[in-house]
Amino acid sequence: MSKASSNTGFGTRARANGARLVNKDGSFNVHKTGRKFAERFNLYHWFLNMSWPKFVLVIFTGYVIINFVFACLYMAAGFESLQGTVMRTPVQKFLSAMYFSAQTFTTVGYGRVNPVGHASNIIAGCEALIGLMGFAIMTGLIYGRFSRPRAKVMFSASAIFAPYREITGLMFRMANGRDSQMSDVSVTVIVAMNEEKDGKTIKRFYPLKLEIDKIFFFATTWTVVHPILDDSPLKGLKEADLEDRDIEILVQVSGYDDTFAQIVNDRTSYKWHEIEWNVKFKPIFTTNNQGEPMVKLEELSKTYQV
Amino acid sequence: MSKASSNTGFGTRARANGARLVNKDGSFNVHKTGRKFAERFNLYHWFLNMSWPKFVLVIFTGYVIINFVFACLYMAAGFESLQGTVMRTPVQKFLSAMYFSAQTFTTVGYGRVNPVGHASNIIAGCEALIGLMGFAIMTGLIYGRFSRPRAKVMFSASAIFAPYREITGLMFRMANGRDSQMSDVSVTVIVAMNEEKDGKTIKRFYPLKLEIDKIFFFATTWTVVHPILDDSPLKGLKEADLEDRDIEILVQVSGYDDTFAQIVNDRTSYKWHEIEWNVKFKPIFTTNNQGEPMVKLEELSKTYQV
Amino acid sequence: MSKASSNTGFGTRARANGARLVNKDGSFNVHKTGRKFAERFNLYHWFLNMSWPKFVLVIFTGYVIINFVFACLYMAAGFESLQGTVMRTPVQKFLSAMYFSAQTFTTVGYGRVNPVGHASNIIAGCEALIGLMGFAIMTGLIYGRFSRPRAKVMFSASAIFAPYREITGLMFRMANGRDSQMSDVSVTVIVAMNEEKDGKTIKRFYPLKLEIDKIFFFATTWTVVHPILDDSPLKGLKEADLEDRDIEILVQVSGYDDTFAQIVNDRTSYKWHEIEWNVKFKPIFTTNNQGEPMVKLEELSKTYQV
Amino acid sequence: MSKASSNTGFGTRARANGARLVNKDGSFNVHKTGRKFAERFNLYHWFLNMSWPKFVLVIFTGYVIINFVFACLYMAAGFESLQGTVMRTPVQKFLSAMYFSAQTFTTVGYGRVNPVGHASNIIAGCEALIGLMGFAIMTGLIYGRFSRPRAKVMFSASAIFAPYREITGLMFRMANGRDSQMSDVSVTVIVAMNEEKDGKTIKRFYPLKLEIDKIFFFATTWTVVHPILDDSPLKGLKEADLEDRDIEILVQVSGYDDTFAQIVNDRTSYKWHEIEWNVKFKPIFTTNNQGEPMVKLEELSKTYQV
């Protein structure tokens, strides 16, 4: 039996209740309380992590709200200080002020409607600056979204126990989901399992020794193999034990991405019900019509009975 | 007794006068003289490190000053070369020139007021370009503020001497204050203490051996432990010795942050009066109603008497 | 015979059909199927990797299309709601709407033509915002193109088998094609060759031991040398064997670039027909008229018969 | 005698003519020929490395040229297609077209002067887009200039041979010239010296073993010391030998900068005439009035006779 690792960062007190430690998307399934909203919330990260449709919606909504607020300010400064409008009713006047606000905020400034009094000129001057600042922020956010270094490693849906040489191996398969080039890619695999100690159930973590834990080029696919030798913490486990011991396989991949020129990380985990027995991964490496190497990623998770 | 380390970067000549070496925010408490303002001052870092309210204030103030300066230039070029104004008194005319300047600088350009002479056209052309450059700078500054990679490690307010297995350990606790994922986190702890040598008091630095100095995932909290074994520089120290020897515990944390895809650092230090005796950290790792792991960060610094 | 390496990331199943594994530009010659367009396609990387002329063309084309679409919207909202136009025929009116759209999208907003109705004001307000967003995206793309860290290592056109001390060495020569400074540069060389195993042809990979695999400063040129000792996988190979065994030399260079302050990578490969026998590289390191070191990069690939 | 290092990247063929290999600013003193201008020239790096005054001058000059070119285009399209001008003479008309161009390029668009014909509308639409693109480029350049990670290590003007414990040491002193925090700083020192081999003078490189080659915190100053032990390549050298052997001490410093969250490098070199004998560095580490550590950087290079 190999030695338990105490440096996973989850701590041995992690309870034995079946909740996973690492989500399929690689985030840690740990909740934190006790930070104030202002401490916890980071506007930049919030914008960075939202979907594009939501991002556009937030921008448009903010735009409408800002124009509404400034329209109120222009009305308060006196509608007559906006020269050149052709509107008559209060609602029309307010909408007209909103249109003028939009023209100022975006710095279009057609000028048919334009400020003549001191108040409206000052408000407009401030709005134009705020517009530029808002736009500067938007530029930064959009660039941040674009350029954020992120790996997109595709993992097989299941880990498997498969025949490996004379013995058995725990395996999973992965591929680079991007067209960018990754090199010097290494992987760390840790198994989390419940154990009895002094009558209490505690969580133990064991690093799994891998056949290969680093490759030069992540060009095709990589089937990561943990051979179940005598010193493996998985030695002797039966299929039913996986659930009993609430087993979770934690995976971290790290490599250099050419496009970003940075080290990028990705994580996933396989909970006991995502581990299959007595299957093998279907080969997906072949050649195309021109005789060039080709990988069929659609079959990355395909297995067959042995 | 372990060997003193001479590679901390503080030097053995650091005096024994009670001033801390590393501030609580992680900056070095070292003053430097002899650099010219231009060498020392970095506009970008100055803008990067100021608070958001101050940042906005500086931007607005600069905007007003620029408009004031350009209003002077337009007045010098002759007010009549700005066509379309309706102002009469000198003050009104100057304000009108300021409004026009704001419209030009922000590139709103309503156009009711517009330049007709050569001088005013050239000034306006320069101002618009300067406005664009100023805006380019602002965009860069705002993006720099947003995207600057920075760890936000929360440290317990005190380090403690607590029972550890059969012996005593020096401990402190920390957590990732962000919602981002950190991995491959390592910590370095050095103790600075006064010693007598040839009748003079000098400062010595000793690295402290840690039970665990690197963890894979910084998902929950990490209680860093230095077991006080026979070779520990803290071996045999009594509570009163901490002040006598002007002890300071220097801490540096370094890890890979997923959001920034970069290594981020954080530092702190515990001065002798920030070290508690005979207490233990209250457990703060628990599960929430859904049975998922939860950390109560509000109790990160909570201890209890033993 | 040295041990085959199984951690190249290409897998031993790579077929023996003559297609190269790594392209001359350093990308992997591996095709992938099975990802949806949306998974595979990354707008940012697409823009990042296209040539500058194509980039400008795409921007201009997108600009014309957007103006066409918005001109349709303005026409749908009623041409009379655009005040100030002097056009008469339908085509002229449409073109006039396109001009107005361009003035709105770029936020020029001359204002002779300007929106008066609610519909046209709302469309114009949206267009100006979209223009700003489009511009924010363009700014990000252009900065991304500029600032992307990329090595530009120049490799000799051929690798050569040349006399090296008492024996023979496989060599190639490289230089930093940029004026920026690179330091701590390391190189990895792997040979891919076909072998017979159980009657089948499989691809084997062997790392090649280098005379020097890391240099401090990449200031001039670097002739990378693999001495063909007894344990070299190339030992005993004849010129005809290179083609028979479909030999490919895979090269990866990695170093710290001062300008980007990041590690940058470059790769290339030498296929059997890009390997020369019995030649030597012509010396290209000399001094200029001022007696300062000078490298003639135009002769980087120059060899002479021995 | 220690072994010569062949992995400095300068090559043993470097001639013995007194030109330095590394400039005081850290760049390599190596000239390269044979690259085409387009290969060699990188617009981004050119803009990144020029001084701020030159940068502003280039921007303004480009602005004037662009306006001149577009003024020609507007004149070619017919001056009457620019409505609203009040100019009469040809020169005045051309200047008026330049002002209009400036208003379009910066997207100010006052609108008093505005395009009415198809040609002028199309030119103006293109110019506004080009203006936005130019501005996007400028934003990227300015941000690139601001945010470029660069160390600013201050080195003592001379290296010195000074008494060190019982023997002699080669020393130089350095400090972090920025207010930012650097940690995990390491230094590499190599000596380049001429040697006779087979009657020819060749350049040899020897790494120098340092008393300390890495420090945790680069908080104050660091006096780097190479003790001249029996295996030192400098052992037995007399003052006159430094010039005879054309000695140059190459220095590279590398460390993690908190502000940039990246590894930054700096280099310098000491040529034989920049090495002093029998002096010591004056202590510059002291405490200020509040008893806090203080470093007098103005005396970084100060030495005194021994």
- DSSP structure class, residue D12: T
Are B142 and B160 in the same domain?
no
Which chains have 3 or more CB–CB distances shorter than 8 Å to chain D? A, B, C
All chains having 3 or more CB pairs closer than 8 angstroms to chain B:
A, C, D
CATH of the domain at B102: 1.10.287.70
User: Which residue, of B105, B131, B147, is where some domain finishes?
Assistant: B147
State how many domains chain D has. Answer: 2
Cα dihedral D36, D42, D43, D48 sign: negative
Residue of A59, A94, A107, A146 best to disrupt the C interface, most CBs of C under 10 A: A146
Is the Cβ–Cβ distance between B203 and B217 less than 8 Å? no
Q: Shortest Cα distance from B57 to chain C (angstroms)?
A: 24
Chain D residues close to A111, C-beta within 8 Å: 110-111
Establish if D197 touches chain C: CB-CB under 8 angstroms: no
Examine residue D261 and state whether it is found in any structural domain, yes or no: yes
Q: Which residue has the tokens 């002077």?
A: B72
Give the dihedral sign, CA D105/D109/D114/D115: positive
Contacts for B108 with CB less than 8 Å, ≥ 6 apart: A103, A104, A107, A108, A109, A124, A128, B102, D108
**Domain identity same for D181 and D112:** no
- Terminal Cα distance for chain D, rounded: 28
B285 touches chain A (CB under 8 A): yes
ipTM of the complex: 0.83
Name the pairing type of β-strands B200-207 and B293-296. Answer: unpaired
Same domain? For C281 and C157 the reply is yes
CATH code of residue C232: 2.60.40.1400
**Least CA distance to A121: which residue of chain B?**
B99
Q: What is the pLDDT of residue D13?
A: 62
Assess D109–A contact: CB distance below 8 Å, yes or no: yes
Let me know whether A296 and A165 are in one domain: yes
One digit per residue, the tens of pLDDT, for chain B of length 306 reads 456 666 777 766 655 467 788 888 888 888 888 877 777 777 888 888 899 999 999 999 999 999 999 999 999 998 888 888 877 888 999 999 999 999 999 999 999 999 998 999 999 999 999 999 999 999 999 988 888 888 889 999 999 999 998 899 999 999 998 888 899 999 999 999 988 888 888 888 999 999 999 998 998 889 999 999 999 999 999 988 999 999 999 999 999 998 888 899 999 999 999 999 989 999 888 877 877 778 899 999 999 998
**A171 contacts chain C (CB < 8 A):** no
Is C45 in contact with C244 (CB distance < 8 Å)? no
Q: What is the pLDDT of residues D253-305, one digit of tens each?
A: 999 998 888 899 999 999 999 999 989 999 888 877 877 778 899 999 999 99
pLDDT value at position D210?
95
Residue in A with minimal Cα distance to C40? A178
Q: Are B111 and C107 an interchain contact pair (Cβ–Cβ within 8 Å)?
A: no
Tell me which of B95, B123, B147 is where a domain ends. Answer: B147
Residues C82 and C96 in one domain: yes
Residue C19: inside a domain, yes or no?
Answer: no
**Structure pTM?**
0.87
Low-confidence ranges of chain D (pLDDT < 70): 1-6, 11-17
What is the CB neighbour count within 10 angstroms for residue A68?
13
| Calpha distance C182→B70 (Å, rounded) | 46
Check residue B100 and give its pLDDT.
95
Last residue of some domain: D115, D132, D147? D147
pLDDT of residue C285: 82
Whether C249 maps to a domain, the answer reads yes
Give the containing element (helix H, strand E) for B264. Answer: strand B262-271
Asked whether residue B22 is assigned to any structural domain, the reply reads no
Range of the domain at B41: 37-147
Task: Note whether B81 contacts A: Cβ–Cβ < 8 A.
Answer: no
Name the strand (E) or helix (H) holding C169: strand C167-176
Same domain, B89 and B164: no
What stretch of H or E contains B125? helix B118-147
The answer to whether the Cβ–Cβ distance between C217 and D252 falls below 8 Å is yes
- Shared domain for D116 and D102, answered yes or no, is yes
* Euclidean distance between CA atoms C39 and C59, whole angstroms: 23
Asked if B177 and B300 sit in the same domain, the reply is: yes
Edge-to-edge, what's the strand order for the sheet holding D31-33?
C285-287, C293-296, D31-33
**Whether A111 and D110 lie within 8 Å, measured CB to CB:** yes
* Cα distance between residue A97 and residue A94, in whole Å: 5
Judge: B297–A35 Cβ closer than 8 Å, yes or no. yes
Q: Is residue D24 part of a domain?
A: no
Task: Give the pLDDT confidence score for residue B1 in this predicted structure.
Answer: 44
Which residue of chain D has the CA closest to C221? D9
- For residues C279 and C164, state if they share a domain: yes
Does residue D66 belong to any structural domain of this protein?
yes
Q: Which residues of B touch A208 (CB under 8 A)?
A: none
Is residue C126 situated within a structural domain?
yes
Question: Closest residue of C to A56, CA-based?
Answer: C133
Identify residue A282 by its one-letter amino acid code.
Answer: K
Contacts of D75 (CB under 8 A, 6+ apart): D93, D94, D97
CB neighbour burial string for C286-306, b if at least 16 within 10 angstroms, e if fewer: eeeeeebbbbbbebbbbbeee
| A147 part of contact set with chain C, CB < 8 Å | yes
Q: What is the pLDDT of residue B118?
A: 92
Contact residues for A88 (Cβ-Cβ < 8 A; gap 6+):
none
Which residues of chain A fall below pLDDT 50? Answer: 1, 16
* Rounded-to-integer distance, Cα C181 and Cα C255, Å: 10
Residue D19 lies in a domain: no
**C255 Cβ under 8 Å from any chain A Cβ:** no
CB-nearest to C291 from D19, D21, D116 is: D19
- By Cβ distance, the residue of B107, B111, B139 closest to C111 is B111
Do B33 and D298 count as a contact with CB atoms less than 8 A apart? yes
- Are A216 and A81 in the same domain? no
Q: Are residues D185 and D134 in the same domain?
A: no
For the residues C160-173, what does the mean pLDDT come to? 93
Find the closest chain C residue to B112 by CA distance. C111
Contacts C131 to A, Cβ<8 Å:
106
Minimum Cα–Cα distance from C143: chain B residue: B140
Residues B162 and B301 in one domain: yes
Task: Establish if C109 touches chain B: CB-CB under 8 angstroms.
Answer: yes
